[in-house]
Amino acid sequence: MYQRLSAVLFPIMSLLFIGSIYWGYQEHQEKNSILIKAENQYQRAFHDLSYHVDQLHQQLGNTLAVNSTSQAYHRKGLVNVWRLTSEAQNEINQLPLTLLPFNETEDFLSHIANFAYKTAVRDLTKEPLSPDEFKMMKTLYAKSEEIASDLQKMQTDVLQNNMRWMDVEVAIASEKSSGDNSVVDGLKTVDNKVSQYPEINWGPSVSSMYEKRSVKMLGGQMVTAQDVQKRAADFLKVNSNNIRVVENGKGTEYASYSALVNESSSGRNIQMDFTQRGGEMIWFINPRNLGQAKISFKQAQLNADRFLNEHGYKGMRAVSYDPNGDSGTFTYVGTQNGVLIYPDKLSVKIALDNGEPIGLQASDYVYEHHKRKLPETMMTSAEARKALNPDMRITSEQKALIKSDMGEEVVTYEYTGKVNGGLYRIYINAQTGLEEAIEQMTTDDKKAASDK
């Protein structure tokens, strides 16, 4: 009996054993194939990074080499600088540097890219490069040479020693010392050098992009946790005893308060954030379970309008709507003398099962809202219309203040209409008659902006 059983089981077990070996071999091959592909991608990204930083250095030199009045070549050179820094940033993002501090170098390249773009898009015939900008470009030329040289040394090490980036990833993940891997050591050296560069005057348009919103930017008195507790209770019309307030970033310029509302009777678990100076609400959210959408678009917008008016956000106008199944988000902007003020922006989220406001994002409004001195327009609406595509069928127009690519606030004529089968908002500078921005709209956006 055992002989017969063995005769049956032995070939079966043999087949299973051989199959497991084959399966293991296939798995090993597939794993090796994935590792090889990852290694090839890392190698390509690193060598491309070294090449593009070297090209960036050369392009800055070429731009500085021509006559200071050669605006056409300056524009061409700056466009190339922007392209090369964008390529370099993309290649850095492809390397396994998640756990390795390389942010100083990334930030430096980001500043160069934004300076090049903002300078290239302006009219250099009317506003040529200034002496300060030439001085800054000379500094960038020298510093980019240092970075390119360091990367080329690393590139030589990688090629001569047949170093693998997969080993770099392992070294970073295992938190080995920089001396254990020359590539890790080299990258840290590059980043450390960049961090020690003297402060560069990037100009107001670029610097404003990296300006962090802090308590110092706000007006009003410093508030206490008790003040915030009362404000949160008034906002939600609940008992203040149900509100717990926590201070965030104590002692820093980014200090704020979080108010947490937990009502066991209603099941509400609302979260809110307030600024420490002025006690302005930055955002709130009521993360409740939502039922099936029942209310109409019109009713949802009326509820959002009423919510803003009840809480002191006067004169806001809806400009867009983003539906998301069981909820919808309306974006509003401020108004002043009939002009839409786009920097004064906030969003209201409405639950579509009962129309309840369940979210507010007002950080832009908190930091940007103030009374502005609006300049007199140099052009009439009819004159500004000449810049539009003749095929555009305009459905509405109004004045709007927006931020330009240079980060400056400009008054524009906002035209809404259809062209090439799409719905667009086009903003024409009311002083120069040039296009400042173009934005494609959805039918929901148009409905939100036109429904009153």
User: How would DSSP label each residue in 358-399?
Assistant: EEEE-HHHHHH-----PPPPSS-HHHHHTTS-TT-EEEEEEE
- Which tokens go with 184? 């890790």
Q: Which of 271, 283, 274 is nearest to 227 (CA)?
A: 274
Domain-by-domain residue ranges, the chain? Answer: 14-210, 217-318+332-365, 381-450
Angle at 431 between CA 420 and CA 365, to 5 degrees: 80
Can you tell me whether residue 97 is helix, strand or coil? coil
Which string of b and e fits 263-297 if b means at least 16 CB within 10 Å? Answer: eeeeeeebebbbbbbebbbbbbebeeebeeeebeb
CB 333 within 8 A of CB 341: yes
Per-residue pLDDT of the chain (452 residues; tens, 9 = 90+): 555 655 555 566 666 656 666 555 555 555 666 667 777 788 888 888 889 999 999 999 999 988 888 888 898 999 999 999 989 888 888 877 665 667 788 888 888 988 898 888 888 888 888 888 888 899 999 999 988 888 888 888 777 777 777 776 666 666 544 445 667 777 778 888 787 777 777 776 676 666 666 656 677 788 899 999 999 999 988 888 888 999 887 777 778 889 998 765 556 688 999 998 888 899 999 888 888 888 999 999 999 999 999 999 999 999 999 998 889 999 999 999 999 999 999 999 999 999 999 999 999 999 889 899 998 889 999 999 999 999 999 999 999 999 987 778 999 999 999 998 899 999 999 998 989 999 999 988 988 887 54
CB 230 within 8 A of CB 240: yes
CB 178 within 8 A of CB 185: yes
Pick the CATH number of 381-450 from 3.30.2030, 3.10.450, 3.30.70, 3.40.1090: 3.10.450
CA–CA separation, 133 vs 149, rounded Å?
24
CB 280 within 8 A of CB 366: yes
Q: Which of 387, 386, 441 is nearest to 418 (CA)?
A: 441
CA–CA separation, 442 vs 422, rounded Å?
9
131-160 and 182-195 helices cross at what angle (nearest 10)?
170
| End-to-end CA separation in angstroms for the chain | 91
- Which tokens go with 65? 């080499």
CB 407 within 8 A of CB 357: no
